[in-house]
Every structure is written in structure tokens, then in C-alpha cells.
Amino acid sequence: MREEINLVQEMILACEEALGNKDTAVRGVRAICKWFGGQLIYIPRSKTEGAKNSEKLKDILFGALGEKDGAVMLKKIMAYFGGVQLYIPIEQRAFKKEIAQEIYDRYDGTQESMRRLCREYGISFSQVYRLWSSGQTTQVKKQKAAGI
């Protein structure tokens, strides 16, 4: 699992450098993990080398980031990781802390909210609850550190 997370961090750093924005890089990498998560994929060096995969990566990134940022990120990923077959981790594993914070922020205490989060993230009620609890713990730590 450590190698998976390191790959994700490496992708984010490489793309952040090209895009000049970490949030945009994270959105792009999350979109890749959401689509290809749990699979080995070949990253082509160019748009023509692995046409099928480069088209799919393009569609994913353009859908998540728009044409301009998606093109920049696709170019960086192909330059940095091109010619290699990579295991792409599942989004829920690679972005567990971020998802826990999102769930904590969005859960309003209702059963309908819980159901919506289960459907959206494709996880069970107990997983949503564990992630919410983790997000709550993180929030409490942040508040203590800030002296609130």
C-alpha cells in the first residue's frame, strides 16, 4: 500500500508543478484513481503510442479539470510516467483523509444524508461512519492546535 500512496503523491507533485495548483492536481489524480482504481494500466509516452489508454486518460482529465488543465496534466503524466505499467490505487485508499474530511463536512446527521454519501462514494454505512469519525477526530485536533 505504501508504494501505491507514494505513486499518488508523486503524481500530484509532478502535476502540481506543471499546473501551478495543488488542488487541481489532486482533482485530476483522484479522477484517475476513481476510474482506474485497483487496476494495472499502461501509461503511454505519447497520444499515439497507447491510443486507447491515452484517449481514456484524456477523457477522464478533461472531464475532471476542463480542456486546458486536463491537457497540461495529461502531457505531464505521459512525460513523467510514460512507457510504464502502473498499479492505480482505489480512490478510497489513496485519498482516505480527504474523503474522511469531505464526509465529515457534508454529513448533516440525517439518514438520507448518510445514504447519499454511501451511494456517492460507493461504500457501506459502516465505512461512511468510520470515515466521518476519522474526519471528526482530525477536525478536533485542528481546533485544539488552533486554540479554539
pLDDT in tens, 54-82: 899 999 999 999 999 999 999 999 999 99
Q: What would the pLDDT profile of 2-12 be if each residue is shown by its tens digit? A: 555 588 999 99
Average pLDDT rounded to a whole number, residues 22-48: 93
Tell whether pTM > 0.85: no
Cα–Cα distance, 89 to 108 (Å, whole number): 29
Q: Positive or negative CA dihedral for 59, 61, 66, 68?
A: negative
How much is the pLDDT for 2? 54
Pairing relation of β-strands 84-88 and 39-43?
antiparallel
Given a cut of 80, whether residue 100 has pLDDT beyond it is yes
State the pLDDT at residue 49: 66
List the domain boundaries for the chain: 2-93, 95-146
